[in-house]
Structure 1
Amino acid sequence: MTRLLMISTALTGLAQSAQAQSLTVYTSQPQEQMTEVIAAFNEAHPEIEVELFRSGTTEVMAKLQAEFAAGGSPADVLLIADAVAMTQLKQDDRLMAYPDAAVDGIDPALLDADMTFFPTKLITTGIVYNTDLVDTPPTAWADLAAPDVAAQTIMPSPLYSGAAAIHVGTMIQQPGFDWPWFETLADNGAVAGQGNGTVLEAVARGEKAYGVLVEYMALNAKAQGSPVDFVFPAEGVTAVTQPVAILAGTDAADAARAFVDWQLGQAAQEQSVAQGYFPLRAGMAGPEGYPDPASLTLIEADNARLLSDGDTVKQTFADLYGG
């Protein structure tokens, strides 16, 4: 009887331990979307309680770095729109490798060779415009430099947005653009907001006619009746893959691996499409009204240069646009 009681007590302890699993996720994905993400994840993993910190990528990274400097972060998982920041964390030995992650169906070219961070979706940056204010939409990045267009243009700042940091860092590597193009925009009246949300709000309200924006925000707003539309510029789009990673030193490694696998799986990819993102798994269609992902022209960037030039890019942009 005593032996049975001991076994029962042990099993009860294991059950309580399983129920008590908690996971802290730091993310730059919009709050309303993350609420949906956590709800869907908990359908598959009701035993894992998720705590969330959400802000722009730059602020998320600043919080992480401050916590590291103070001795450690409570974060277990990081989900941000910045593979360059992930690369820096990897170099600093802040990420845990997960060689058995569920990456079937994902283009190997998008994967970190050491399996420390993983793409979850494709997010491109192009041009949003207000359909009440613009009769002839722009078709190319070069169109934004025209004085009458630049004067009505707003863009996100790399000081706040990881996607913006990638966009600016990529564009300055392109012949015909580089810093002189950004200088021309500034000279002709273009301004910078904070994150992508400020750009969408300004264009949707008619405060600005044009904006540099991630596609899903513009197309989601259009679908909801906002007077905006989106252009995939002729020269191509810059792109981020919103990688997910497990922080080294996590005390919730099993729960973190479960979250990563779920993010890479079919259910999460279908949810991403429903939220307006291009999927990464092969054979999946994008959201209604989006072009075929295979038809996109992605502007290539030297990722090593994106990393090494990151601080300079932010400072130069701030000198031009404030911040």
Structure 2
Amino acid sequence: MTRKHYVATAATFVVLGLALTGCTAAEPAATADADSATTSTELDAATITVYTSEPQEKIDAIVAAYNEEQPNVTVEVFRAGTGDLTARIEAERTTGDVQADILLAADAPTFEGYAADDLLLAYTPADVESLNQDVVDPEGFYTGTRIIPTVIAYNTTAIDTPPTSWQDLTDSEYAGKITMPNPDVSGAAAFNAAVWMNTDELGEEWLEDLAANEPVIADSNGPVSQAVAAGTQPVGIVVDYLVRELQAAGSPIDVSYPSEGVPYVSQPVGIFASTDEEAASESFVDFLVSEAGQTLAVEQSYLPVRNDVGTPDGAPAMDDITILTPDLDLIAETKAAAVARFNELFQ
């Protein structure tokens, strides 16, 4: 299969940002009226399996909201880090078919690879024209479900002057004070390693300088954010929604969006070609990117992929963020080597 790789541009994110700037925070999903939900036909009884890296409480809420629309569909969830999910998928495909119907995890290059291997079913979600087209695969094999930038987090009681750039983190004043996620576990971290390696202002030299400050490598983004909030490691490299959640809970944590730009993942969703429940799987994809599904995403502190559902409290407008938008072909080709180099430097 020949894939046509799609590359987002900074200019198109500015357009999205202008749209989001005019939005107010969304009402809680529980108060949304029936008109805001996806209009869909109630399906017959079916069972679908979702492989996901979403936090358990978030995917539980997603399934519960979906079942309000499709009460006859049972959704079974296997939740793990992206590294464990991709290993499981590889093991299953070598012995037969993938045992899941849906994958909700990781980054676009991961889905590009699965599409190239004929593992994914082409499907264009309902109301796709309402979505940010930068996260929609033009061939229909996957669709982003939220914008998740990686940023610098810092403990406000321990850091007086926060870092404002990735380069700042190589200063000796941060030696022993930084924590970041393991790219062998976190799909976002693996994606970031490749983006940093292929960004002219950063590259391998920056990674080497960062490693000289001996960051603590945590398993995933969750432990990173918790360590920063607790002050055990006062600076962290982490996805931004976790910082907003901890701030809302009263933790002394804040966020800096580095001046060179931030990498982001879009937590795509795709349907495995081996599914026996195509209609139910498609309805689950439809829900994730519907107005109701994206209102819930905002409630869960994510930046949405459509502009009619508001933005999370405390989130910046997208046009205020410099976004790193590398070529997906290049990231896919270099990610394994970038993760291997990361492991050599940091572990």
Q: Does the TM-score normalized on the shorter chain lie above 0.5?
A: yes
Shift of 1:295: 2.6
Q: Equivalent residue for 1:260?
A: 285
Aligned residues: 305
Match of 1:194 among 216, 219, 240: 219
Shift of 1:100: 5.5
Shift of 1:165: 1.2
Q: Distance in 2 between matches of 1:85 and 1:46?
A: 31
Is 1:241 equivalent to 2:266 in the alignment? yes
Q: Equivalent residue for 1:210?
A: 235
Q: Equivalent residue for 2:80?
A: 55
TM-score by length of 1: 0.91
Q: Distance in 2 between matches of 1:245 and 1:150?
A: 41
For residues 122-137 of structure 1, what are the structure 2 equivalents within 5 Å? Answer: 122-137=147-162
3-state SS, counterpart of residue 126 of structure 1: strand
3-state SS, counterpart of residue 301 of structure 1: coil
Q: Distance in 2 between matches of 1:18 and 1:273?
A: 30
Q: Equivalent residue for 2:16?
A: none
Is 1:289 equivalent to 2:314 in the alignment? yes
Is 1:159 equivalent to 2:184 in the alignment? yes
Contact 1:286 1:293 in 2 (8 A): no
Q: Which amino acid aligns with 1:312?
A: A
Q: Which amino acid aligns with 1:18?
A: D
Shift of 1:293: 2.1
Contact 2:188 2:265 in 1 (8 A): yes
Is 1:111 equivalent to 2:136 in the alignment? yes
3-state SS, counterpart of residue 237 of structure 1: coil
Q: Select between 280-289 and 24-33 the one with higher mean Cα deviation.
A: 280-289
Deviations 1:47-68 (A, max 9, x none): 1000000111111111111111
Q: Distance in 2 between matches of 1:193 and 1:182?
A: 17
Q: Which amino acid aligns with 2:44?
A: A
Q: Distance in 1 between matches of 2:67 and 2:93?
A: 29
3-state SS, counterpart of residue 117 of structure 1: coil
For residues 44-123 of structure 1, what are the structure 2 equivalents within 5 Å? Answer: 44-99=69-124, 101-123=126-148
Q: Distance in 2 between matches of 1:87 and 1:172?
A: 20
Q: Select between 253-262 and 141-150 the one with higher mean Cα deviation.
A: 141-150
Shift of 1:167: 1.3
Q: Distance in 2 between matches of 1:81 and 1:272?
A: 16
Higher RCO (C-alpha under 8 Å, 6+ residues apart): 2
3-state SS, counterpart of residue 73 of structure 1: coil
Is 1:18 equivalent to 2:79 in the alignment? no
Runs of 5+ unmatched residues, structure 2: 1-42
Contact 2:225 2:243 in 1 (8 A): yes
Is 1:29 equivalent to 2:49 in the alignment? no
TM-score by length of 2: 0.85
Deviations 1:210-251 (A, max 9, x none): 000000011111111122111111222111111000001100
Q: Distance in 2 between matches of 1:186 and 1:44?
A: 48
3-state SS, counterpart of residue 168 of structure 1: helix
Q: Equivalent residue for 2:39?
A: none
3-state SS, counterpart of residue 78 of structure 1: strand
Is 1:312 equivalent to 2:337 in the alignment? yes
Contact 2:291 2:308 in 1 (8 A): no
Q: Equivalent residue for 1:12?
A: none
Q: Equivalent residue for 1:10?
A: none
Matched residues, percent identical? 37
Contact 1:285 1:292 in 2 (8 A): no
Q: Equivalent residue for 1:145?
A: 170
Deviations 1:165-210 (A, max 9, x none): 1111111111231111111111122232221112112212221010
Contact 2:82 2:105 in 1 (8 A): yes
Q: Which amino acid aligns with 1:68?
A: R
Contact 1:57 1:82 in 2 (8 A): no
Q: Distance in 2 between matches of 1:227 and 1:196?
A: 17
The structure number with the bigger radius of gyration is 1
Deviations 1:293-321 (A, max 9, x none): 23321012121111111211111111111
Q: Distance in 2 between matches of 1:123 and 1:100?
A: 20
Q: Which amino acid aligns with 1:42?
A: N
Q: Distance in 1 between matches of 2:161 and 2:319?
A: 27
Q: Which amino acid aligns with 1:174?
A: T
